[in-house]
Structure 1
């Protein structure tokens, strides 16, 4: 029997699944990565019997930036298909914004204060109490951010799960099994070594300070997001195991 696999959409050269893919694999969910930014063909739908989940990664685009990223209509169609069929979905940064837009929410470019580096997040207790991925986690966690665009209105009936001081919609769920996050659980502290200091400075951030803070928060953050990845894999493999 073939092991269940997540179809993972990569939207720019530096945006692979990294440790998120490793954590999914630990929990029995493999990753089939399609580098959409290279022009690689995307399927019309996740392959029945092979893909147990859809994961859409980040990228420096708006969800409807079809001129600069001409593969995005196909990604939106895959996202819509996942929502319609109940296929577990996890969207990171651009992937989360794309979920919000497809499901009827709103995303705006350059909205609010930019966020970069390890950022404190507040999990909303009423929303996460029964959430399949976030239940039982500490009320305050950290995650790496790197964005200037943001979700400004959640889809109707979405479950609001987490916020930061300057960006309200850090995590949400649509329906039973589609999650969007603004932050980057796949990004570890040492990944920040390769960030562009000049670009960070233009947004008011000091590269060395961001790296030091991320290293300080790394152990606790990795434990939290590894747990979340394992739980998402369990959602996906549980669904695959029922033949749904």
Structure 2
């Protein structure tokens, strides 16, 4: 059974329904509670990795000392072409490790379910191809990617935050939004300038539209992991570019 290392960076930031969908697809999840002090592996020996969100910047080592090891694993996944999905903080980490730029408290914050525009570049992407032009997605951030790494493919955007989804190399995706979150989780969030009842009601209204799309995207990621794991176990080289050169993570 292919396995996925899932790095959890906050108490409430678990894999949620994305984890459920991956398990339904036959993948085993190895969830490491890094925020509780659980050690990250010295090397990534899993078939794939998911880096979840959290209230940090990718380089906030003083507040979250495990992030140094998390960046190292992201760098290994990028260099070796291991399937990788980064959500919110995780997506920002992919961008930064690969040579992009992230800024704290940049621009206008986003909170709740918002329309995400799928860009034309997504038409050829393994995960984002064929999606509706606009898909609701749940947001909860004030930090943002402000510059993509060289060669990254820009896949989705919102009015307030341009870099909502992108791909680095052949098998690494970063998203700023939260495909793993259900509306009930939104009730736990508080953000200045947003009415919690209004934010929750909008998320509930959008769920019938958003859920099938993000489940489809997750299923595509799962198939990619299964296919690459099978090829690796058979001793053959997976199709496509095997790696992307990235700066050494600090």
Once the 2 structures are TM-superposed, how far is the Cα of residue 29 of structure 1 from its aligned partner? Answer: 1.7
Whole-Å separation in 1 of the counterparts to 2:28 and 2:136: 26
Maintained 8 Å contact 1:160/1:171? yes
The count of aligned residue pairs is 233
| DSSP-derived class of the 1:231 partner | helix
Identify the residue that residue 146 of structure 2 maps to in structure 1.
Answer: 152
Per the alignment, in what secondary structure is the counterpart of residue 96 of structure 2? Answer: helix
> Does residue 167 of structure 2 align to residue 169 of structure 1?
no
Name the residue aligned to 1:216.
205
**How big is the shift at 1:209?**
0.4
Which stretches of structure 1, 4 residues or longer, exceed 6 Å deviation after superposition?
Answer: none
CA RMSD of aligned residues (A): 0.8
Q: Which deviates the most, 52-61 or 38-47?
A: 38-47
SS at match of 2:124: coil
Aligned mates of 1:217, 1:239 — CA distance in 2: 33
After TM superposition, list the pairs within 5 Å mapping 1:161-200 onto structure 2. Answer: 161-196=155-190, 200=191
* Aligned residue number for residue 248 of structure 2: none
1:86 to 59, 81, 87: 81
Q: Which runs of 5+ in 1 are unaligned?
A: none
Cα displacement (A) at 1:229: 0.6
Contact 1:26/1:230, CA 8 A, preserved across alignment: no
Q: 2:223 aligns with which of 230, 234, 239?
A: 234
Q: How does 1:96-115 map to 2 (within 5 A)?
A: 96-115=91-110
CA distance in 2, matches of 1:148, 1:57: 16
Q: What do residues 23-72 of structure 1 show as CA deviations (whole Å, max 9, x unaligned)?
A: 1111122211000011111102222xxx2101000000000000000000
| TM, length-normalised to structure 1 | 0.94
C-alpha distance in 2, partners of 1:103/1:156?
Answer: 8
Which consecutive residues of structure 2, in runs of 5 or more, have no partner in the other structure? Answer: 238-250
Distance in 1 (alpha carbons) for counterparts of 2:42 and 2:226: 22
State the secondary structure of the residue aligned to 2:132.
Answer: coil
Partner of 2:246: none
* Residue 71 (structure 2) pairs with residue 71 (structure 1): no
Task: Specify the SS of the correspondent of 1:45.
Answer: coil
Instruction: Give the whole-Å Cα distance in 2 for the aligned partners of 1:101 and 1:156.
Output: 11
Following TM superposition, by how much is the alpha carbon of 1:190 offset from its aligned partner in structure 2, in angstroms? Answer: 1.7
Give 2:128's aligned residue. 134
Separation in 2, partners of 1:164, 1:30: 33
SS in 1 for 2:114: strand
1:220, CA displacement in angstroms? 1.1
